[in-house]
Amino acid sequence: MNLIVRNVRMIDGTGADPVPKVNVVVENSRISWIGEGIVAPSNHPHFEDINAEDLTLVPGTFDCHEHFAGDGGQHGVRAMNTDPPEVLLAKAAGNARRALMTGQTSARDVGSPRGISITLARSVAAGALPGPRIVASGEWLQYPTTWGQSKIETVNSPEDMRRAILARIAQGAGVIKIGATGSSTDGSDPGTMGREVAQMVMDFVHGKGLKVAAHCTGFMGTREVVEAGIDSVEHGTHIDEETARMMAEKGTILVPTLSWRDYLFRASKRWGMAKKQIDSSEAVREWHKASYQRCIAAGVKIAAGTDAGGGDPMRHGNIVRELEVMVDWGLSPMEALKAATSTAAELVGTSDHVGTIEVGKLADFALIDGDPLSNIGDMRNVWAVYQGGRQVR
């Protein structure tokens, strides 16, 4: 698709200062020219020509932590456990479309029953369904814990773990998701795998050319997988200073899913839960916030993810809410935008073709009516969305 966007304010996603007025040319799905001069060919019949004065062009965003097969909401997790696969796939397709319409042109799905997220990723890649470009894990892998969920496969030994990893890869997984910790709210439970198995998982998966993401909500389990070389810590509810320092040194990326934690606390009040549950939910939110702030102070790289569909109650298409909480709790709007674009692409492994506005990259971007650097919430004012140069909204 060929396109000229003229006179637009551009935030390229690299963290560089915004350019107040620039022209961006797209040819054959890719950005072919960016500059301030006169653009030829003007009024060429094969080019769509847009005057985007007063709009802001930003890279298409990423949500690095979604579960498309779940709708979220008060009974989202229960539905994911009981819905038949045909319904889960239909829900996943609807959720993918919803996300795309918000300017979210890429996603990582870190857990679904029956490999439905992988089926969804393949359907979108084949052009059969509208949606973000998806890298998916299928079911995540975990040693026995207190959790029994349809999006988790329980393994019982290192051999079993290797078999399950190979099965995911054969199915078409683009990332392997593991559970590193249990689910106690004070973060005190030990890691689920032990140091040796954690190391085996990293070496085995990295040897196959994939990355590993770990569900982390306890201090010791998080330390265990960070030491072993995990690529991303998901949630990171309990991260001490030493683990944060280690993450910064190793380049481990944190996907803090703050809006999920924030919603959980607010929903606990709205849904009329007992005072004890509300208090506990508030306490965990404070732990989570402090861990996130420790990571910022240590210089840990951060990528944006909402956990939509994973735990109650986050829904898909709300990455801007995540950016708002990221900013409320410590990042600048520019840093939050990086977390949802270039850093996210680095994590997902697609930074060679998406995540920033640069010549040669695929034309995945949104035009925003407003200036997200003055108000990150302006990212909701989506005027148009392009994916590979094709207007999808």
Q: Which stretch binds Zn ion (CB under 5 A): 40-48, 113-121, 177-185, 307-315?
A: 307-315
For 135, the token pair is 């890298």
Q: How many whole angstroms separate alpha carbon 27 and alpha carbon 236?
A: 41
Q: Which stretch binds Zn ion (CB under 5 A): 54-62, 124-132, 306-314, 346-354?
A: 306-314
Q: Distance between the two ends of the chain, CA-based, in angstroms?
A: 15
Q: How far is the CB of 255 from Zn ion (least distance, A)?
A: 9
Q: How far is the CB of 63 from Zn ion (least distance, A)?
A: 11
Task: Kindly tell me the sign of the dihedral angle through the C-alpha atoms of 100, 208, 225, 15.
Answer: negative
Site for Zn ion in 70-89 (CB under 5 A): none
Contact between residue 172 and residue 160 where contact means Cβ atoms under 8 Å apart: no
Residue 338, class by beta-carbon neighbours within 10 Å (0-12 exposed, 13-18 middle, 19+ buried)?
A: buried
How many chain residues touch Zn ion (CB under 5 A)? 2
Q: How far is the CB of 49 from Zn ion (least distance, A)?
A: 42
Q: How far is the CB of 140 from Zn ion (least distance, A)?
A: 8
Q: How far is the CB of 351 from Zn ion (least distance, A)?
A: 23
Q: How far is the CB of 319 from Zn ion (least distance, A)?
A: 14
Q: How many whole angstroms separate alpha carbon 261 and alpha carbon 281?
A: 8
Q: Which stretch binds Zn ion (CB under 5 A): 4-12, 175-183, 291-299, 302-310?
A: 302-310
For 352, the token pair is 């060679």
Residue 139 in contact with Zn ion, rule: CB under 5 A: no
The residue type found at 284 is V
For 221, the token pair is 């389990």
Q: How far is the CB of 65 from Zn ion (least distance, A)?
A: 6
Nearer to Zn ion, 13 or 305 (CB): 305
Nearer to Zn ion, 182 or 310 (CB): 310
Among 307, 322, 324, 364, binds Zn ion (CB under 5 A): 307
Nearer to Zn ion, 13 or 310 (CB): 310
Q: How many whole angstroms separate alpha carbon 39 and alpha carbon 357?
A: 17
Contact between residue 159 and residue 132 where contact means Cβ atoms under 8 Å apart: no
Q: Which stretch binds Zn ion (CB under 5 A): 3-11, 187-195, 278-286, 309-317?
A: 309-317
Q: Among all residues, whose Cβ is closest to Zn ion?
A: 310
Site map 162..191 versus Zn ion, x via CB under 5 A:
------------------------------
Residue 310 in contact with Zn ion, rule: CB under 5 A: yes
Q: Which stretch binds Zn ion (CB under 5 A): 77-85, 158-166, 168-176, 310-318?
A: 310-318
Nearer to Zn ion, 103 or 310 (CB): 310
Nearer to Zn ion, 70 or 333 (CB): 70
For 86, the token pair is 């045909």
Nearer to Zn ion, 12 or 71 (CB): 71
Nearer to Zn ion, 22 or 230 (CB): 230
Nearer to Zn ion, 262 or 307 (CB): 307
Bridge partners for 366 per DSSP = 58, 385
Nearer to Zn ion, 2 or 104 (CB): 104
Contact between residue 152 and residue 179 where contact means Cβ atoms under 8 Å apart: yes
Q: How far is the CB of 114 from Zn ion (least distance, A)?
A: 17
Residues that bind Zn ion (CB under 5 A): 307, 310
